[in-house]
Structure 1
Amino acid sequence: MTNRQYRRPAARAVAAVACLLSLACAACTGGSDDTPPPDGKGEARGPIVVASGLDVTGSGGVRQQLIEEWNRRPENKSQQAKLVELPGGADQQRSQLLGALQSGSARYDVVNLDITWIPEFAEAGLISPMPGTGTGTGTGTGSGSGDDDGADAVDLDFIKRVHATTVWKSRSYARPFNTDVGLLYYRPDLLTAAGIQTGRQPTAAWRWDDLYASVGTLALSPDRTDDRAGWTTQLKQYEGLTANAIEAFASAGVELADSEGRYTSSPEKLKKGLDELLDRARLGRIQPAALSSDETAALTDFAAGRAVFMRHWPYVYGALKALLPPEAYSVNRLPGFAVLGGQNLAVTADSPRAENARELVTFLTSRESERCLLDAGFAATRASAYSNDSRWPCWPRVAAALRTAGDSPEAAGTAATPTGTPAPSGEGARKDQGASARDAYRRTLSAALNEAVQRPRTPYYGAFTHVLQSHVHALLAARSPDSDAAATELDADLRDAFAGK
């Protein structure tokens, strides 16, 4: 998911369903008495080390391919780059990075941070502000036009709301690498079978009431069984639950904090958000297993037909190719608000190769690189990646590597089908939805990103999300949920969390 990534919430769970991925161990190299000689710029030689979480496109995926493209260029012969993938989930990766950077035990020059970590790492002085950043908050429109308020002197092609995730206290500390946003996937085949014709299926103008109406019609279908439900999402007690809660809160007009991380809500406002989430999770509407579902479980229920609608992240559009025939799935924007996920590239404060590292970040987030990320299944952070402008195609050698990986059994054949058998791959593999459907998907994704909301910006995000998850999950699991009492208790604990107590 966003993100994801994300996490990106989404990136953390895809391995079990989309493909079996190899995790590279993080080599946290200790200090050395031998200082590498400087290069021509006066910077230390040695590889520019990029620390990142799991690449959902697989071992040797698009992130590694972009690193290799950088290394192939003659001008970068003296400043080669190396990708180190950190093991474990997002919380473990965050702890590893914090510990390594605070102790100086790891030689990371660039870190690929979940968007929610930027305030924490910036406040701790572990990452450096990007050059040219001023006192604004980033006003790039994503169209390459408009006035720049000085927060990002690079360009305005970054999608405005996505670029805002790099900013803390009016300074940009990173460049957006890959983003994420909640989307609504649905099963046209199952809707049609229940008598819901094409004209009554999801559109960009759908509201939650429209989804509930379709869920009510599905409930009348004679084919409905106890294990079938209208829709599913990720309500397990982890970051996916936080994303769902923030989306419900935003739809109810509830904001938890301002741009400086100060708590701004109240019990009355929180009750509105909690009631909105309870309404979405009402029995008879949602797949009962959703309360314990993460990204993998939700996708499995959707692919098996146990849920007709599903809230999920963009990477699922590519993953469904291995699970369902092209006519059996589609995607649109999520009703109401969708939350952002994703990762941003930041240069570490103690990097002896800071200038070279910034050049690498610029390359990895260029128009061509962002098109590669989109082609590989990530959500790109630049508006140009979603356009039909042919001036900035994916780097040719990266594009060729991605095509080869996409056709190989290693890339497609290890995904599990809903029955647990290997998905078809290579020769005889299921076809995708075609160029027209892919273009429509990209337009949908671009529109969703341009209207998405952020999770709270705070250096205490870890404490915040833990508090929110524990209270919300308990409320959803209660036989007789009391949103008044839950809102009062949540308000008190959130005040402490945002204050760092």
Structure 2
Amino acid sequence: MKRFLIVLLIVSLVMGLVACASNQVEEPVVTEEAPVVTEPEPTPEPPPSKILINFAVQADSTPALEKLVEAFNEQSEMYEVKATIMTNDSGQMHDQLLNSLSSKSGEYDVISMDVVWAGEFAAAGYLEPIDQLLMDKGWKPTDFNAGSMDSGKYKGKNYVLPYFPDLGFIYFRSDIVSAEDVAILQSGDYTFDDLIAMGEKYQGEMGTKHAFVYQSKQYEGLTCNLNEFSGNWTDIEGGLNYMKQMMDKNLTPEDILNYTEGEVHNALLNGEAVFARNWPYVNGMLQSGEHDVKVDQIGYAPLPKGGTVGGWILGINANSQNPEGAKEFLTFLAGPEGQKINAIEGSYLPGFNALLEDEEVLAANKLLTDEGFQNALARTIPRPVVPNYSEVSDIIQISAHEYLSGNSTIEDAVVRIQEALAE
């Protein structure tokens, strides 16, 4: 009996355990997954802003300046050039630059200068020497236009590179002037008397109003023109007489004494003038084909007593806040790439000598292969080579303009100009 009870107890315990086990429902195991962390997409960094280089430059009537700045800005990763357009009156531009440079302002990094300003600016410490730049680029001064480089050499150091060399010469209507007179003009073997006679002969042909237009306002252009009329100051009275004679014979516009380069090229391009004294840049305007007078209606000739050497040069402001950028832009502008753009787009004479034999440059610039222009290039004359050029030029302009406008005698004008040149 006792054994029976023990067995029954064991069976009861086993049955209880089985029942408990059967009542337990196994819960599914839920594994919590770690939340997916999405990394935020990196915000694209804005392109680094380029360092601004300010270029002080005279207005350009051709597409060249715009193309130069555009080309540099596209290729430079660090710098962007802004052209600050200044007046085309060279005297006013000189004073604007002088006011800025003399205050040691860094508002301009690279500056364009008339060839006669460089000595003054270099002597005053306003320009940065560029000899190291030339060495770094493997360039020699002889790689560039000699006249331009000479104008910016001071106490044995180089301070400038050429923007474009220049010279004064005559544009004439080859569709009006006879073939015989064309040959005479192109040769340069003629006098101002001959030129005046041609003016009288052709004035009024094909709707023209004036025989002659040239720069005669009281500014630097008048100094250049009197230099040419007087044969580099060898006959000041004769030069003034020729200018006055053209006015008195009504061969020039009534307001010729207000004419600068702009008025002169407008008169030529609009078909108003037979003969126009100007610089090479006008050929770039003719090449555009956008004016009444086209390039195939124009011929080129030396002035009877030679054309004034001119041109513009480039320097770095000694107080530039971005000297490395200024150097980069200067080397582009004066080097083969920039000078080629200037020559093709603006018909400017290249200051980088190797381009004078470049086929694309020669094809784009009729001047460089023209007989009359080549003769003009061989007959250039300098402006007064004096240490106080601005003062001397001012006296020349004032004296000549007063005489031509009837406010002084020719004797007084000649004396004052001679005294200024002798100082």
Return the offset for 1:438.
2.1
Unaligned runs of 5+ in 2: 1-49
Give the corresponding residue for 2:351: 381
CA distance in 2: counterparts of 1:246 and 1:307, whole angstroms: 22
Give the corresponding residue for 1:318: 284
Q: Is the 8 A contact 1:180 1:342 kept in 2?
A: yes
Question: Aligned pairs, how many?
Answer: 363
Give the corresponding residue for 2:145: 159
Q: Compared with structure 1, are the counterparts of its residues 119 and 224 closer, same or farther at alpha carbon in structure 2 (3 Å cutoff)?
A: same
CA distance in 1: counterparts of 2:409 and 2:82, whole angstroms: 48
Correspondence for 1:340 among 309, 325, 328: 309
SS at match of 2:102: helix
SS at match of 1:48: strand
Counterpart AA for 2:56: A
Q: Is the 8 A contact 2:300 2:373 kept in 1?
A: no
Q: Compared with structure 1, are the counterparts of its residues 439 and 325 closer, same or farther at alpha carbon in structure 2 (3 Å cutoff)?
A: closer
SS at match of 1:47: strand
Correspondence for 1:485 among 407, 412, 418: 412
Q: Is the 8 A contact 2:91 2:219 kept in 1?
A: no
CA distance in 2: counterparts of 1:132 and 1:106, whole angstroms: 21
CA distance in 1: counterparts of 2:368 and 2:176, whole angstroms: 21
Could you tell me the TM-score, scaled by structure 2's length?
A: 0.73
Give the corresponding residue for 2:71: 69
Instruction: Say whether 1:287 aligns with 2:247.
Output: no
Give the corresponding residue for 2:160: 174
> Which range is displaced more, 83-92 or 216-225?
216-225
Q: Is the 8 A contact 1:242 1:469 kept in 2?
A: yes
CA distance in 2: counterparts of 1:329 and 1:456, whole angstroms: 31
Give the corresponding residue for 1:93: 93
Give the corresponding residue for 2:41: none
Counterpart AA for 2:263: A
SS at match of 1:376: helix
Mapping of residues 252-331 of structure 1, within 5 Å: 254=233, 272-282=235-245, 283-284=248-249, 286-289=251-254, 290-303=256-269, 306-320=272-286, 321=289, 322-331=291-300
Counterpart AA for 2:150: A
Return the offset for 1:132.
5.4
Q: Compared with structure 1, are the counterparts of its residues 223 and 246 closer, same or farther at alpha carbon in structure 2 (3 Å cutoff)?
A: closer
CA distance in 2: counterparts of 1:221 and 1:389, whole angstroms: 36
CA distance in 2: counterparts of 1:120 and 1:489, whole angstroms: 23
Correspondence for 1:473 among 397, 401, 416: 401
Correspondence for 1:53 among 55, 58, 70: 58
CA distance in 2: counterparts of 1:450 and 1:220, whole angstroms: 28
Give the corresponding residue for 1:138: none
Higher strand share: 2
CA distance in 2: counterparts of 1:105 and 1:231, whole angstroms: 43
Unaligned runs of 5+ in 1: 1-44, 135-151, 255-268, 395-434
Q: Compared with structure 1, are the counterparts of its residues 359 and 280 closer, same or farther at alpha carbon in structure 2 (3 Å cutoff)?
A: same
Could you tell me the TM-score, scaled by structure 1's length?
A: 0.62
C-alpha deviations, 1:112-145, integer Å up to 9, x for none?
22222112211211102221599xxxxxxxxxxx
> Which range is displaced more, 464-473 or 346-355?
346-355
Larger CA Rg, structure 1 vs 2: 2
Mapping of residues 21-420 of structure 1, within 5 Å: 46-57=51-62, 61-73=63-75, 76-78=76-78, 80-88=79-87, 89-131=89-131, 154-191=140-177, 196-198=178-180, 200-209=182-191, 212-213=193-194, 215-216=196-197, 219=200, 228-249=209-230, 251=231, 254=233, 272-282=235-245, 283-284=248-249, 286-289=251-254, 290-303=256-269, 306-320=272-286, 321=289, 322-377=291-346, 378-389=348-359
Return the offset for 1:243.
0.9
Q: Compared with structure 1, are the counterparts of its residues 243 and 306 closer, same or farther at alpha carbon in structure 2 (3 Å cutoff)?
A: same
Q: Is the 8 A contact 1:183 1:332 kept in 2?
A: yes
SS at match of 1:379: coil
Give the corresponding residue for 2:389: 461
Q: Please tell me the root mean square deviation across aligned C-alpha atoms, in Å.
A: 3.6
Higher helix share: 2
